[in-house]
Amino acid sequence: MSTETLNQNAFELIGVGRTYATEAGGIDAVKNIDLVIGRGEYVVIVGPSGSGKSTLLQLMGMLDQPTRGHIKCAGEEVSALSEAELAEMRLHKVGFIFQQFNLIPTLTAQQNVEIAMFPTDLTKDAAKARAIKLLGQVGLADRADHYPSQLSGGEQQRVAIARALANEPEILLADEPTGNLDSTTSDEILTLLRGLNDEGLTLALITHDREIAESAPRTYVMRDGELNSQETLSEATGAINTAAL
Sign of CA dihedral 87, 189, 147, 132: positive
Residues in CB range of 99: below 8 A, 6 or more apart: 175, 176, 177, 179, 180
Query: Which range has the worst mean pLDDT, 28-32, 129-133, 138-142, 207-211?
Result: 207-211
Give Cα separations from 222 to 37, 203, 210 (angstroms). Answer: 16, 17, 13
Query: Which range has the worst mean pLDDT, 37-46, 78-87, 210-219, 231-240?
Result: 231-240
CA 36 to chain centre: 15
Is the pLDDT assigned to residue 241 strictly greater than 80? no
Is the pLDDT assigned to residue 196 strictly greater than 70? yes
- 221-233 in b/e form (b: 16+ CB < 10 A) is bbbebebeebeee
Rounded mean pLDDT, 207-226: 87
Check: CB of residue 61 under 8 Å from CB of residue 90.
Answer: yes
Determine the 3-state secondary structure of 48 from DSSP. Answer: coil
Domains in the chain and their CATH numbers? 40-64+84-240 (3.40.50.300)
Nearest to 132 by CA among 147, 121, 143: 143
Helices 183-198 and 153-164: crossing angle, nearest 10°? Answer: 20
Grade residue 50 by pLDDT with cuts at 50, 70 and 90.
confident
Is the pLDDT assigned to residue 136 strictly greater than 70? yes
Sign of CA dihedral 217, 221, 225, 229: negative
Check: CB of residue 160 under 8 Å from CB of residue 102.
Answer: yes
Could you tell me which residues are beta bridge partners of residue 28? 19
What is the pTM for the complete model shown? 0.88
Nearest to 162 by CA among 178, 141, 147, 146: 141
Q: How far apart are CA 143 and CA 12, in angstroms?
A: 39
Sign of CA dihedral 14, 12, 235, 208: positive
